[in-house]
């Protein structure tokens, strides 16, 4: 049980507040007892050190939109709310670098850098931006959008991070200079770690110049054709910024959407050439489903529950393995009476929304996993699921390097004080 008086005492000289948890302070079904909202990195150090001394399990929270991703933590005594750390520390427009505190909404960051015609290419959909998704949450979920194809994922875009470990140690890695690769690359380690290794207080990201002109090409057809067209565009000289595939649940047909970016007439010419490859039409606007997760209503501004109970999974494949994944989804639907909506980049990072009974969902996830010849060539990990579904399946599937991951956890969080049990292998 958290000793609120001592937690508040630790924060006193640094600003911020500590309060008893309310009905909304729940982490994927696990109620917290206290919430601390520091307003500086020093405050995070002080309150986390005190929480660990009390033996508490601490779970970081940004806007709280993806708190139900990853396994539910074994305990969540203290929620460490990062929204008080909301400063944009530095925008080095000349260096194409931005440094921000972890609780800064991604929307604010994007607005600032837009002033210099630059962008952080993470493609969060509008409802995520409106929901206040934070820099720390973005890094810790490690999710990626359409332009991952050309610009890389969050792990490629993050240059450095400052993190507070459970004993109050502050560690930094990388920096705001692209070439600085000295030391242990904590920033990459923390990407997608769901807050299990440390509390990110600040991160530096690589920016890209915003390209003034863009065109979309959209085509549709049978699953195998769409996969082949998408592959052709990726392998072409057209340098697409993104090639996305969308297959609605229950469908033998999928859509492919290609994004071309650049300056002037060349964009239109490349778009016409891409339209030839996918048998599609050129349009100015993205398709309605662009950058949204499958099954998610694009108009929603609520938290992470919009898929109406669907199990959300991330499915990866090789470029040539995407066709097999699409046909495996169709086969699993017919065999197990489930619905599987698949959407994501043709380069092989897709999301799947699976609807069905827990048992059928478990069988369908197993079927999707079997579509890849080996875990090196494709994985399916469950991001969000009900307790019943989690009980029926192995959310992570076969994972390599578990011993190494456990060793890192022991090194950074030996007492298992940060979101215990949230990550693969009980980390």
- What is the C-alpha to C-alpha distance for residues 86 and 66, in angstroms, rounded to an integer? 18
Strands (E), 208-284: 208-209, 213-222, 242-247, 253-262, 281-283
Contact status: 58 vs ligand FAD (CB under 6 A):
no
Backbone angles phi, psi at 409, to 5 degrees: -60, -45
Q: Which of 11, 46, 47, 59 binds ligand FAD (CB under 6 A)?
A: 59
Contact status: 28 vs ligand FAD (CB under 6 A):
no
Contact status: 128 vs ligand FAD (CB under 6 A):
yes
The kind and range of the H/E element at 324 are helix 322-336
- What is the C-alpha to C-alpha distance for residues 220 and 281, in angstroms, rounded to an integer? 10
* Size of residue set near ligand FAD by CB under 6 A: 36
Contact status: 157 vs ligand FAD (CB under 6 A):
no
- In sequence order, the β-bridge partners of residue 341 are 353
Q: Which of 39, 54, 144, 379 binds ligand FAD (CB under 6 A)?
A: 144
Contact status: 52 vs ligand FAD (CB under 6 A):
no
Contact status: 60 vs ligand FAD (CB under 6 A):
yes
Q: Which of 16, 70, 160, 175 binds ligand FAD (CB under 6 A)?
A: 70
Stretch that binds ligand FAD, among 15-23, 142-150, 250-258, 354-362 (CB under 6 A): 142-150
Contact status: 344 vs ligand FAD (CB under 6 A):
no
Between helices 358-370 and 322-336, what is the axis angle to 10°? Answer: 150
Stretch that binds ligand FAD, among 222-230, 277-285, 289-297, 326-334 (CB under 6 A): 289-297
Backbone angles phi, psi at 267, to 5 degrees: -65, -45
Site string for ligand FAD, 86-115 (x = CB under 6 A): ----------------x-------------
CA 160 to chain centre: 17
- What is the C-alpha to C-alpha distance for residues 301 and 279, in angstroms, rounded to an integer? 35
Q: Enter the tokens of residue 152.
A: 């890389």
Q: Which of 34, 35, 122, 243 binds ligand FAD (CB under 6 A)?
A: 122
Contact status: 382 vs ligand FAD (CB under 6 A):
no
Contact status: 189 vs ligand FAD (CB under 6 A):
no
Contact status: 82 vs ligand FAD (CB under 6 A):
yes
Residue of 15, 93, 59 lying closest to 417 (CA atoms): 59
Contact 159, 176 (CB under 8 A): yes
Residues that bind ligand FAD (CB under 6 A): 59-67, 70, 82, 102, 122-125, 128, 133-134, 136-138, 140-141, 143-145, 194-195, 199-200, 291, 293, 296, 304, 419
């Amino acid at each position: 049980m958290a000793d609120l008086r001592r937690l508040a005492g630790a924060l006193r000289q640094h600003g911020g507040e500590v309060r008893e948890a309310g009905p909304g302070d729940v982490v994927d079904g696990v109620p917290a007892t206290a919430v601390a909202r520091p307003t500086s990195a020093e405050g995070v150090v002080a309150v986390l050190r005190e929480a660990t001394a009390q033996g508490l399990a601490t779970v970081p929270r940004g806007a709280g939109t993806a708190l139900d991703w990853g396994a539910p933590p074994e305990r969540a005594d203290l929620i460490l709310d990062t929204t008080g750390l909301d400063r944009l520390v530095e925008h080095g427009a000349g260096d194409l670098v931005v440094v921000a505190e972890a609780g800064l909404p991604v929307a604010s960051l994007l607005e600032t850098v837009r002033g210099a015609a630059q962008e952080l290419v993470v493609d969060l959909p509008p409802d995520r931006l409106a929901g206040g998704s934070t820099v720390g949450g973005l890094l810790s979920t490690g999710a990626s959008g359409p332009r991952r194809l050309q610009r890389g994922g969050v792990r490629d875009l993050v240059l450095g991070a400052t993190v507070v470990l459970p004993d109050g140690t502050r560690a930094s890695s990388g920096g705001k200079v692209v070439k600085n690769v000295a030391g242990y690359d904590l920033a990459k380690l923390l990407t997608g770690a769901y807050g299990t290794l440390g509390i990110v207080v600040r991160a530096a990201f690589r920016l890209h110049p915003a390209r003034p002109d863009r065109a979309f090409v959209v085509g549709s057809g049978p699953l195998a054709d769409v996969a082949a067209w998408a592959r052709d565009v990726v392998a072409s000289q057209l340098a697409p910024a993104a090639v996305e595939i969308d297959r609605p649940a229950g469908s033998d047909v999928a859509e492919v959407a290609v994004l071309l970016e650049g300056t002037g007439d060349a964009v239109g010419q490349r778009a016409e050439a891409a339209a030839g490859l996918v048998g599609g039409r050129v349009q100015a606007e993205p398709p309605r489903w662009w950058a949204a997760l499958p099954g998610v209503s694009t108009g929603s501004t609520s938290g992470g529950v919009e898929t109406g109970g669907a199990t959300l999974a991330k499915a990866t494949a090789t470029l040539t393995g995407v066709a097999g994944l699409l046909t495996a989804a169709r086969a699993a639907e017919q065999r197990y009476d489930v619905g599987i909506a698949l959407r994501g980049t043709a380069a092989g990072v897709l999301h799947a929304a699976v609807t069905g009974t827990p048992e059928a969902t478990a069988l369908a996830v197993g079927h999707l996993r079997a579509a890849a010849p080996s875990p090196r060539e494709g994985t399916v990990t469950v991001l969000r699921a009900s307790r019943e579904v989690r009980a029926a399946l192995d959310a992570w599937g076969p994972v390599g390097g578990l011993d190494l991951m456990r060793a890192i956890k022991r090194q950074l969080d030996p007492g298992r004080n940060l979101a215990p049990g949230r990550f693969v292998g009980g980390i």
